[in-house]
Chains A and B, each alone.
Chain A
Amino acid sequence: MAILTGRPGPGTSPPPADLSSTGRFGDRVFHGLSTGSGIVVIGLVTAVGAFLLAQALPALVRNDANFLTDRVWQVDGDPLRFGIPDLLWVTVISSLVAMVIALPVAIGVALYLTEYAPPRLARPFAYLVDLLAAVPSIVYGLWGATIIITYVAPVQTFLGSVLGWIPLFSTENAITGTIFLASIVLAVMILPIITAISREVFAQTPLTHKEGALALGATRWEMIRTTVLPFGTPGTISAAMLGLGRALGETIAVSLIMGTTNGAFSWSLFSGGETFASRIANNAQEFDTPTKAGAFIAAGLVLFVLTFVVNAMARVVIERRKAFAE
C-alpha cells in the first residue's frame, strides 16, 4: 500500500524516482502546484510569527514597564507602559477551569457514544454533539451574557459562601460577568472538540481486549476501566489539550461575557478581567498608531506562542500513541 501511494512507509527507503510520474509537462505543473501549496502553507504560519514579532518589537522596545511583570496597560501617549501578567492569569485560569469542567463530561459522552448508546442511534447522537461545535462563538457569547448569567449567579453565591476562604473563590470584588461564567461557556464550546477525539480513540480499543475482559467476568464498567480507558488515555490527554488551546484563544464569547474590572486585580474566579484575545478585541477599533497597535500585537504574539506550545504538545502526545498503536 505504501509503495502505491508513492509514500514510503516507516522503515522503507524512498524509491529513487517517482515511477508513476512520467515527467510530462502536466505532471511537472501538478507536482509544482502541490508542492508549492504545501510550501505556501508553511510560509503562512512562518509569516504569522514573523509579522507579529516584527510589529511587536518596536512597541516592546518603547515600553517603559516590564512586559512580563507590570500590571499596567497605558498605550496612549508616548512612554508606553504595558504588561501582561493579569491577562495571562485570566486567560490561563478561565481556560483551565473550562477544561476541568468539560473533560469529565466529554469522557462520559464519548463513552456513552462508543459503549452504551444503541448502535443505531450512536451516529445521530454523535452528530448532535458535533452541532455544538457548529454554533458560532458570538452566539455562545450572547447566550452566556444574557441568558445563563442569571442561573449562574446563585451558583456563584453558593460557592462563594462555602469556599470563599480560598482566594480563588473569594467574593470580595464579585461582579456579574465573571471569569467563572466565561469558563462555563468555554467548557460548552470545547466539549465537542474533546468528545470527538476521545470518541475516536475509544472506538479504536481492540475488540479482543474488550472481549477478554468480559470473558473474565468483568462488568461493563470494569471492562471499560481496564481496557477502554487505559487504551484511550493518551488520546484523551491530547484531546483535552486541544480543547485548552481552543479556549485560550476564544475571543468574542469571552469579550461579551466578562466584565472588565478597571485595573482592580483579584485572584478570584468571581471577578472579571480580560484575556489576551478579549483585550485585543475590545480595543480593536482604536488601533490608530503603529506603536499602539504594536502593544496589542505583542499580546497577540504571546497568545500565539501559548496556543502553539499547547497544540504542539497535544500533537506530540497523539503522535507517540500512533507510533505505539501501529
Chain B
Amino acid sequence: MTATVSSPPLHAPGVPELSRRRRTRDVLATVMVHVAFAIAMVPLVWILYSVLGHGWHLLLDSTWWTNSQRNINPERAGGGVYHAIFGTLAQALICAVIAVPLAVFTAIYLVEYGTGRLARAVSFTVDILTGIPSIVAGLFIYALWVTTFGLQRVGLAASLSLVLLMVPVVVRSTEEMLKLVPNELREASYALGVPKWKTISRIVLPTALGGIVTGVMLGLARVMGETAPLLILGPYASSINTDLFNGNMATLPTMIRENFGLPDQPAIDRMWASALTLIVLVLLLNIAGRVVARFSGVKK
C-alpha cells in the first residue's frame, strides 16, 4: 500500500499565500483526475446496465438453464442455453487440465530452479505469450490441427487454442505468489534435511495455494470469454454435444455471435440473455478468485 501524502495546509502563518495561478492549476488537476475516474466508470456501469436490462427476463425462465436451441429458429422464442454453457465449461475445464500443470511447473522453474539464459528466455516467451492476440492462437491451432493433422474443428481443438491464452496468466500469478513465500520457510525445511522437491511440493506450494487458485480462476474467466479462436475452431451447434472429439460444440460466445445481427426479436433477446449469462459466469469466477485471494495465501 502506498502511504498517501496529505496536501499541505494551503495557508500557514508567515507563508505567503499561493498565487492564484498555482492554486487554480492545483484545483484543476484535482477536478481532472476525478473526472477521469468518473469517465472510466461510465462504460462499466453502462455495459452492465444494458446487458442486464436487455437480458434478464429470459434468465428467469427455467427452460433457459435446462434446454438447448435444438429445432428453434431465430423467429421463434424459447429454448435455452444449456448446450452453450456445457460447451464453455467443458472446453474451459479441458483447457485448465492442460494449462494449469504446465503453467505451475513453469512458474516453479522460474522461481525455484531457473538461472541464467534459459530462465530469461522462458520469462521473455511468457511475456510474448501474454501479448499473443487470441485470433493468432486460434490460427496456430488451425494450422496444426486442421491443416497439418487433417482433423476436424472440434471442441478439443478450441480448448487447445485456449491453453495458449491461459498459460501466461497462470504463470505470472503463480510466479508472483511463489516469490511472496518467505525464504525462512524454505530455509527451515532445508535445515531439517527435507529434499528440495518435497520442500516445494509440501511447503512452498501449499503456502501459495490461495494465490495460485486465484490465478487459475482469473485465467478461466479470461478464456471463457474468448471468442476469436472459437470462430476459427469451434463452429456453433444448436443442440447439446457432450463429445469434445466429435462434431460442432456450442459455446456462449459463439451463441452470442450466432444471434448477432438478426432482425428477429427472439434472436435479439437470446443474444442479450446469453451475453448476460456469460458475464455472470465470468464475473462470478472473477469475484470468487478475488475472495480466495483475500482470505488465504501469503500475507505480505
Contacts of A264 in B (CB 8 A): none
* Distance, CA A132 to CA B39, complexed state (A): 12
* Contact pick for A139, options B36, B119, B279, CB 8 Å: B279
Shortest Cβ gap from B53 to chain A (Å): 10
* Contact pick for A128, options B22, B23, B41, B231, CB 8 Å: B41
* Distance, CA A135 to CA B50, complexed state (A): 13
Q: Is B113 an interface residue (CB 8 A)?
A: yes
Contacts of B2 in A (CB 8 A): 114, 203
Whether B197 contacts A29 by the Cβ 8 Å rule is yes
Best-surrounded residue of A41, A48, A300 (most CB of chain B within 10 A): A41
Given A38-B109, A222-B22, A248–B133 Cβ distance below 8 Å? yes
Contacts of B135 in A (CB 8 A): 249, 251, 277, 280-281, 300, 303
Q: Digitize B137-149: 1 where CB-to-A-CB distance is under 8 Å, 0 elsewhere.
A: 1111011101110
Q: Is A6 an interface residue (CB 8 A)?
A: yes
* Distance, CA A113 to CA B50, complexed state (A): 27
List residues of B (88-131) whose CB comes within 8 Å of A's CBs. 101-103, 105-106, 108-116, 118-119, 121-122, 124-131
List residues of A (246-296) whose CB comes within 8 Å of B's CBs. 246, 248-252, 256, 277, 280-281, 284-285, 287, 290, 293, 296
* Distance, CA A111 to CA B136, complexed state (A): 34
Q: Is A323 an interface residue (CB 8 A)?
A: no
Q: Is B77 an interface residue (CB 8 A)?
A: no
Chain A residue nearest to B51 in the complex (CB)? A139
Shortest Cβ gap from A146 to chain B (Å): 8
Given A22-B195, A139-B275, A219–B283 Cβ distance below 8 Å? no
Q: Is B68 an interface residue (CB 8 A)?
A: no
Whether B142 contacts A293 by the Cβ 8 Å rule is yes
* Contact pick for B129, options A34, A44, A109, A127, CB 8 Å: A44
Whether B139 contacts A52 by the Cβ 8 Å rule is yes
Q: Is B198 an interface residue (CB 8 A)?
A: yes
Given A41-B106, A217-B15, A221-B29, A251–B228 Cβ distance below 8 Å? yes
Whether A304 contacts B132 by the Cβ 8 Å rule is yes
Chain A residue nearest to B221 in the complex (CB)? A134
Total number of A residues with any Cβ neighbor in B under 8 Å: 111
Q: Is A147 an interface residue (CB 8 A)?
A: yes
Q: Digitize A116-129: 1 where CB-to-B-CB distance is under 8 Å, 0 elsewhere.
A: 11010000010111
Whether B195 contacts A26 by the Cβ 8 Å rule is yes
Whether A210 contacts B167 by the Cβ 8 Å rule is no
| Number of inter-chain CB pairs below 8 Å | 323
> Is chain B's binding surface mostly helix, strand, loop or mixed?
helix
Q: Is A207 an interface residue (CB 8 A)?
A: yes
Q: Is A239 an interface residue (CB 8 A)?
A: no
Q: Is A99 an interface residue (CB 8 A)?
A: no
Q: Is B196 an interface residue (CB 8 A)?
A: yes
* Distance, CA A210 to CA B187, complexed state (A): 38
Whether B171 contacts A41 by the Cβ 8 Å rule is yes
Contacts of A220 in B (CB 8 A): 7, 26, 29-30
29 contacts between A and B (CB under 8 A): A18-B113, A21-B197, A27-B197, A30-B200, A35-B113, A36-B105, A38-B106, A40-B102, A42-B121, A47-B140, A105-B36, A107-B36, A108-B37, A128-B41, A134-B286, A135-B282, A136-B227, A137-B227, A139-B51, A143-B43, A242-B131, A246-B131, A252-B227, A252-B253, A287-B142, A293-B142, A293-B147, A311-B131, A312-B127
- Starting from the known contacts A29-B197, A108-B35, A137-B227, 20 additional A-B residue pairs (CB-CB under 8 Å) come to A5-B112, A7-B111, A7-B115, A20-B186, A20-B199, A22-B195, A34-B114, A39-B118, A41-B171, A134-B225, A136-B282, A143-B47, A220-B7, A221-B30, A251-B134, A251-B227, A251-B228, A277-B135, A290-B147, A311-B131
| B contact residues vs A (CB 8 Å cutoff) | 1-5, 7-8, 10, 15, 18, 22-23, 25-26, 28-30, 32-37, 39-41, 43-44, 46-47, 50-51, 101-103, 105-106, 108-116, 118-119, 121-122, 124-140, 142-144, 146-148, 164, 167, 171, 183, 186-187, 190, 195-201, 221, 224-228, 231-232, 235, 253, 256-257, 260, 271-272, 275, 278-279, 282-283, 286, 290
